[in-house]
Structure 1
Amino acid sequence: RPSNLEADMAALMSPDDAFRAFIKEEIGKIEEQKK
């Protein structure tokens, strides 16, 4: 398994929190591409 910080953080979060963080990140990427 990937032993990166993101995976460890996701393991600590509840599924809802992890999902929200993922969506937030994806939206951030899309916003960056729009510029």
Structure 2
Amino acid sequence: MSPRKRLFGLLLIMACIAALAFSYSRESRYLKETY
């Protein structure tokens, strides 16, 4: 695998993790307001 592809894959994984963490924190805040 070329270094550029590996770097792109790493960025993609980091973006997925960031999106998951963002949605999780938003949902937990929403649940706190609901209950």
With structure 2 as the length reference, what TM-score do the two structures score? Answer: 0.63
- Find runs of 4+ consecutive structure 1 residues off by over 2 angstroms: none
Q: CA RMSD in A?
A: 0.4
Q: Report the identity percentage.
A: 13
Bigger CA radius of gyration: 2
Higher normalized contact order (CA 8 Å, seq sep 6+, divided by chain length): 1
With structure 1 as the length reference, what TM-score do the two structures score? Answer: 0.63
Q: Unaligned stretches of 5+ in structure 1?
A: 1-12
Which protein is richer in helix relative to its size?
A: 2
Q: Unaligned stretches of 5+ in structure 2?
A: 24-35
